[in-house]
Amino acid sequence: MSNLFDAMRISSLSLKNRFVRSATWEGMAAEDGSCTQKLTDYMVQLVEGGVGLIISGHAYVSREGQAGPGQLGIYDDALIPALASMTAAVHHAGGKIALQLAHAGCNAAEALTGLPPLGPSVWEGEKGSRGREATLEDISRLVHAFRQAAERAKRAGFDAVQIHSAHGYCLSQFLSPFYNKRQDAYGGSIENRARIVLEVYDSIRKAVGPDFPVLIKMNAQDFVEGGLSAEEMVRVASLLEQAGMDAVELSGGTAHSGAKLSPVRVGKLESPDKEVYYRQEARLFKEKIRIPLMVVGGIRSYEVAAKLVEEGLTDFVSLSRPLIREPHLVNRWKSGDTRKSTCLSDNQCFKPAMTGKGLYCVVEAKEKARAKESQ
Ligand SMILES: Cc1cc2nc3c(=O)[nH]c(=O)nc-3n(C[C@H](O)[C@H](O)[C@H](O)COP(=O)(O)O)c2cc1C
């Protein structure tokens, strides 16, 4: 068996294999962002499917940072008990779970929050301007919100937290010259653009202590003109490494990168050479950085995943859409059935999550319905 099933560690956290469920918004939380039994059951299903570490869907750290409906919240102590029931259920099933801490920045859903989106700069999109530029006071509040959210996650029994600094959400906007037009200490050079991310990390670290694993998801590149480059990503990773970050997950793209280069690229990955969206950037990262790396995006084949690890391009293999289609994919592969994931990467799964039904694979549901009809 390949080393995909090696037992692994991230700081104090021991994991049974190298497979990670990358953060995936499930659209299953209640209107106020609290965790539901449906979401808990979904997480337990993932544990039973064999994944070593689950990263929750992005949880908004303050109200104005909500990105969409049915999203988990972590902005208030009142949300802790339901989350604690979820972590207890995951642990009872033998799993490990991290909470992803997020703020959508100027991509927040104003229609849901009733608050103007807040970003590094006013973003002049095609549909007019979005939000307002964060003042220095807003930045301190943001950092504090992430800190409090991490404290709550620890109290709720999560095994780790992951800072969401990818996909053109708030912290990724600060990193990106495409969104960040500031001329103060939080804009300009990459060190300045990374300042808030390091402040968030330091603040969280002070709150959760030295042993609690703190992870980050960041873009390998933004794939927009004038966005964060791969070289800048390596520089940020180096700053985070010096600061004590426990692991980095590399993703890429933003809402403005187009369907072909978005974080959730559309298109079936027909052959192994088309898989792994950020292979080159993982190589750049591994040349310079020593902290554990997770790579997500477009990994569909067992052999491709095994080779990525064997070649030292990643320490962990992160999957999102393949586990929507097949929550038991990891155990299927472990059992010796190493056929490719059946996920078509067509993104139809967004629709039920958006319309209140909760995340599921639409293609699979249609196939099942057809099979039932023909019986
Ligand atoms: C329905 C859906 C929801 C997602 N929600 C999140 C999220 O909450 N946080 C995040 O960082 N990425 C999110 N992503 C992106 C995935 O984590 C992952 O980066 C992306 O889907 C590429 O990986 P894949 O090819 O294995 O699906 C989401 C993706 C999908 C399909």
Give yes or no for a contact between 90 and 43, defined as CB atoms under 8 angstroms apart: yes
Work out which ligand 1 atom sits closest to the CA atom of 322.
26
Cα(308)–Cα(299) distance, integer angstroms? 10
- Domain chopping of the chain, boundaries: 3-374
The CA 34 to ligand 1 mean position distance, Å, reads 20
Give yes or no for a contact between 231 and 284, defined as CB atoms under 8 angstroms apart: yes
The CA 167 to ligand 1 mean position distance, Å, reads 9
The CA 262 to ligand 1 mean position distance, Å, reads 10
**Which DSSP string do the residues of 76-135 spell out, in sequence order?**
SGGGHHHHHHHHHHHHHTT--EEEEEE--GGGS-HHHH-S--EESS-EEETTEEESEEPP
* Phi, psi values for residue 130, rounded to 5°: -120, 115
**Which band of pLDDT confidence, cut at 50, 70 and 90, is reported for residue 130?**
confident
**Which band of pLDDT confidence, cut at 50, 70 and 90, is reported for residue 375?**
confident
Say whether 169 is catalytic: yes
**Which band of pLDDT confidence, cut at 50, 70 and 90, is reported for residue 203?**
very high
Say which CATH superfamily domain 3-374 falls into.
Aldolase class I (3.20.20.70)
Output the average pLDDT for the chain. Answer: 96
Would the pLDDT of 1 be above 60?
no
Strand 97-102 to 160-165 pairing: parallel
Q: What is the pLDDT of residues 17-72, one digit of tens each?
A: 999 999 999 999 999 999 999 999 999 999 999 999 999 999 999 999 999 999 99
pTM: 0.98
Query: Catalytic residue among 169, 179, 201, 302, which?
Result: 169
